[in-house]
């Protein structure tokens, strides 16, 4: 099976469940604890391209920092990505990468299909 990378938050039950699914699949896993090792602007931009999303779609809009930074009214792509770099808790989780593709592993039921695609 191929290499899979997960942007993981061990405090999140959905992220832990996703990691368990990956471990059970037998694939080689690179775990990136993105709250400790923040993805760079280029890495987030690449992830957005792989996901086919704009920055707001990758953001946790219910986080206090989202409101504090007034991101609801922000439309500038670079400013939104910069906000995720500066505040990685804004990044939705878990993000799973494989073979130049990515998904947000919610619901976790989509992960097995992603791994076999």
Helix axes 41-51, 77-86, angle to 10 degrees: 120
In this structure, the answer to whether residues 116 and 75 fall within a common structural domain is no
Are 59 and 95 in contact by the 8 Å Cβ rule? The answer is no
pLDDT at 1 over 70: no
Active site residues: 12
pLDDT in tens, 14-51: 999 999 999 999 899 999 999 999 999 999 999 999 99
Residue 89 makes CB contacts below 8 A (sequence gap 6+) with: 35, 60, 63, 65
Mean pLDDT of the chain: 96
Domain residue limits at 29: 1-34+93-117
pTM: 0.94
The CATH code of the domain that includes 80 is 3.40.30.10
């Amino acid at each position: 099976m191929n290499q899979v990378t997960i942007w993981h938050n061990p405090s999140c039950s959905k992220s832990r469940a996703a990691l368990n699914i990956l471990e059970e699949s037998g694939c080689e896993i690179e775990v990136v604890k993105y709250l400790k090792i923040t993805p760079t602007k280029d890495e987030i931009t690449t992830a957005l391209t792989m996901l086919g999303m704009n920055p707001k779609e990758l953001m946790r809009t219910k986080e206090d920092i989202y409101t504090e930074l007034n991101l609801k009214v922000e439309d500038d792509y670079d400013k939104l990505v910069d906000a995720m770099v500066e505040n990685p808790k804004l990044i939705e989780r878990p993000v799973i990468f494989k073979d130049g593709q990515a998904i947000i592993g919610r619901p976790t039921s989509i992960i097995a299909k992603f791994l076999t695609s």
